[in-house]
Amino acid sequence: MKILVLNSGSSSIKCCIYDFANFPDKLVDPIWADKIEWKNIEKKGAIKKEIKSLLSDKKIDCIGHRIVHGGKKYRASIVIDNEVKKEIRKFADLAPLHNLADLEGIEILEQLFPNTPQIAVFDTAFHHTMPAYAAIYSGPYKWFEEGIQRFGFHGISFQYCSRRANELLEQESSRLVICHLGSGASLCAVKNGKSINTTMGFTPLEGLMMDTRCGTVDPGILLYLSKKKTLNELSKELYEESGLLGISGISSDMRDILDKVSQGNERAKLTIDIYVHRLVSMIGSMIATLGGIDALVFTGGIGENAFPIRQQVCDSLGFLGIHLSNHQSNSPEDLVLSSSDSKVKILLIHTQETFEIARECWQKMG
């Protein structure tokens, strides 16, 4: 079965084709892969042209999509029909950087491959195992009754990484804190393969400091600013002008900021200090939820490649017996990074969201 996966992220669209003869228990490389950068899409309609140029000569049996927000309704992957598309559009208000882009990809591929089934694989689905006390906000209970709750995101990545971590640890039962650190960033507390807490919430805006997203802020700030700004202005600041970019004034790219730190830039150093402070604080909350920790997992573009961030985080958590080895390189392989005397395993895992989506498609079509 040839499975095309379209993963529309906040910075790019990853396109991969997998060819499965049987259900894959281990990682399988795609037989074809390419990427479209959103920054290169200058006008409406250009994305359809880009996708068509990449895929018009491809033969595929099924198409899988990463869908960021599926709300309460979708707890598992599902074949896409008009009702599913309607729901994806409905949740676009809660994931404005993602769901509409996901929907656009679905509709373009419907035109290019009208007889090929498409599967929605939801980032929120993995977190449906969270207990009510972790999912319900402390506002009026009617919020929950109206569908306002913590959903969590990056679930496809967390699902893959939790399984891969157990392979590296050679055990099935474990308490993991997985740090998905990329343009978007969140943590997940995983116990025995199930999500029991996470840092993103009702939307992908809550939690850690991100590339241009603020993460958690005092809601009183928003009440205060709402007297001076429009909702559109506030939304733009929260989603597009905060985080690494907002604090540094330099870039939303961690590599650029670390480079400026090495040159003695004080704003860049402050940005890293805030980023690590927020990260360590929230890792602590995940550990408390789990009642301890067996392994700390780093994944995502920053988690996999920014050794200075991993080093500062692990140094800050040294009081828990978390110690890195001297291995500082950013290996293309998944690695155990903890030293022999570390009480907690430290893992570097290269997340494989497109592969995980393809596995979900196989299971759904099988």
Residue positions annotated with a catalytic role: 123
DSSP 89-158: HHGGGTSTTTHHHHHHHHHHHHHHSTTS-EEEEETTGGGGGS-HHHHS-SS-HHHHHTT-S-----HHHH
Round to whole Å and give the CA distance between 305 and 186. 16
Q: How far is CA 28 from CA 25, 153, 159, 286, in A?
A: 9, 24, 16, 31
Alpha-carbon distance 319 to 308, whole Å? Answer: 19
Length in residues, the chain:
366
Work out the angle at residue 339's Cα, subtended by the Cα atoms of residues 333 and 345, and round it to the nearest 5 degrees. 70
